[in-house]
Each structure stands twice: as C-alpha cells, then as structure tokens.
Amino acid sequence: MIFDVLTIFPEIFDTVLGSSIIGRAQDAGLLKVTAHNIRDFSMDKHKKTDDSPYGGGNGLVMLAQPIYDAYISIVEKLEYKPYFIYMSPQGKRLDQQLVEQLAVHKHIIMLCGHYEGVDERILEEIVDEEVSIGDYVLTGGELPAMVLIDAISRTIPGVLSNEDSYSDESHKDGVLEYPQYTRPYEFRGTKVPDILLSGHHANIKKWRRLQSLKRTRERRPDLYGQLVLSNEDKKLLDKDRNDVLRE
Ligand code: ADE
C-alpha cells in the first residue's frame, strides 16, 4: 500500500510514521509513506504557498498551483489514478467502517490543509473524498493524515504481528473490546476474574463476548443500538441479568 502526503511540514511524518509498528511495516515493505513538500512546487520567489482570500476575510488560503504541481509530480509516472483524500473538518467523519472502505485502495494521496483552507478549484479537480477525524478543528491536516494512515495500515495483513489482534478488537464488529489482564494475579487488592484462569476456552470466549456487549451498552449506547444480537448474545445477556437479580 502506498501513501503520498502533500504537506508543508513533511518532516513530522518521518518521525511519527518511521517508528513502532508502522515503521516496522515500512521496513518490511508492506507499506510506503512519502511526504512531499508543497513548498518545493511554489513558483514564487519567497516559496509562498498561500494568499489572502478573494472577497476579503481573515486568514490565508492555500494556493492551487503548488498543490496541483505536487500532485502531477506523483501521478505523471503512473498508469492509474490514485485515490485522493483531502483531510478537512468538513469531510466525512472517520470511523472503522470508513477506514476499511478506504483500505481497499492500493495507493492513496492525502492533502493536508492549513489556514482557512484550500482554493476550491483544487478540491473540485482532484479530490475524490474529504475526510474528517472528528468534530473539532485542528491547526492543520497533518495529524489527521497520520491518524488515517495509522488506522488503514493496521488493517493490512501482516502489519500487526498477530492478525487476531485486529479481528478481535474494539469497533471491528461494532462492539468495544473486553477487559484484559496480565500478571500479577492480584494488584492492589483486586484479583483477575477467576474464569480467565480456568483454562476453559469456550467459557472464556463467552465471558469476553458478554463483557464486550455490556461495555458497549453502557459506554456507547449509539453503537449498541445498531447491533444485531445473535441468539447466543441474547442468551448470554439474559443469563447475566438473571445472575445479577439473584445476587
Ligand atoms: N484539519 C483540521 N481539522 C481537521 C479534522 N478534524 N479532521 C481532518 N482534517 C482536519
């Protein structure tokens, strides 16, 4: 999977995405992230990448030309059109479902905006989709682009050392993850739930599923409302309710 990022701060991508799991995946050739400096494509003698908005108003707008030329420098060598995403608070809000939809593209170009935005003509001409990482406004699209690269990358087979750790986790099938414990058995007076030491794998699986369902119901009623509960899920929840009533 290839990610090309158009940004005025290319250096920050190397440090963040060069370390840990994403760094290792890049070393292993599973993905490649290249940050391109939009400023390198400026025709202005001061390497300007923005200007004041037509019609007046505060802030600066990013110029179309350096962005367009940076884009062309990437696609002119290709025989296909990569998927182009503009990171913007006005975009579609990112969730795990959108991550998985975007992960089907083998090559993604991302544009990181700044200031008051980007000249609309660039958006009309080359952007396939605008993506927001949440309903808040950041100072630039760099952190959002890194969030999206990280979220997509970890869905690529081989990026996580144990593939189960992707298929089992929060949001994957619309529920939150169950609680996890490791040594010691007792920490500040609280013991690990006995079921986890029983060695009974089927019961452990059921217990974990119940915890996931209860956690989702309590913390994310919005997600819980969209769940289609299996008969097995309903049985687990009924039994739990009866156990609680009996206590
Ligand atoms: N740029 C600024 N804020 C953003 C957000 N919430 N999501 C994506 N890009 C952004």
Taking CA atoms only, the protein residue closest to ligand 1 atom 5 is 89
CA 52 – CA 88 distance, rounded (Å): 19
**pLDDT value at residue 171:** 77
Work out which ligand 1 atom sits closest to the CA atom of 135.
Answer: 6
Q: Which residue type occupies 7?
A: T
Sign of CA dihedral 142, 145, 151, 156: negative
CA 1–ligand 1 middle distance (angstroms): 23
**pLDDT value at residue 173:** 84
Taking CA atoms only, the protein residue closest to ligand 1 atom 4 is 89
**pLDDT value at residue 168:** 59
Cβ–ligand 1 distance for 144 under 6 Å, the answer yes
Work out which ligand 1 atom sits closest to the CA atom of 136.
Answer: 6
Give Cα 247 to chain centroid, integer Å: 42
pLDDT digits (tens, 9 = 90+) for 138-192: 999 999 999 999 999 999 999 998 755 776 577 778 999 999 999 999 999 999 9
Cβ–ligand 1 distance for 141 under 6 Å, the answer yes
A 10 A CB-CB count for 170 gives 16
Taking alpha carbons only, the member of 31, 65, 235, 10 closest to residue 150 is: 31
A 10 A CB-CB count for 30 gives 15
**Tokens representing residue 105 in the block:** 């593209």
pLDDT digits (tens, 9 = 90+) for 12-71: 999 889 989 999 999 999 999 999 999 999 999 999 999 999 999 999 999 999 999 999
**Tokens representing residue 119 in the block:** 């000249």
Asked if 107 contacts 1 with a C-beta cutoff of 8 angstroms, the reply is yes
Q: Where are the domains of the chain?
A: 2-163, 168-246
Cβ–ligand 1 distance for 111 under 6 Å, the answer no
Which CATH number among 2.60.40.10, 1.10.10.60, 1.10.167.10, 3.40.1280.10 corresponds to the domain 2-163? 3.40.1280.10
Name beta bridge partners: 107. Answer: 2
Tell me what the pLDDT averaged over the chain comes to.
95
- Three-class SS of 148-166: HHHHHHCCCCCCCCCCHHH
Q: Which residue type occupies 239?
A: K
CA 88 – CA 90 distance, rounded (Å): 5
**pLDDT value at residue 109:** 98
Coil, helix or strand for 91? strand
Q: Of the residues 6, 132, 143, which should be mutated to test ligand 1's pocket, given the most ligand atoms within 8 Å of the CB?
A: 132
Cβ–ligand 1 distance for 88 under 6 Å, the answer yes
Cβ–ligand 1 distance for 138 under 6 Å, the answer yes
Cβ–ligand 1 distance for 139 under 6 Å, the answer no
> In this predicted model, which residue has the larger pLDDT, 165 or 107?
107
Coil, helix or strand for 86? strand
Asked if 68 contacts 125 with a C-beta cutoff of 8 angstroms, the reply is yes
CA 5–ligand 1 middle distance (angstroms): 15
CATH class of 168-246: mainly alpha
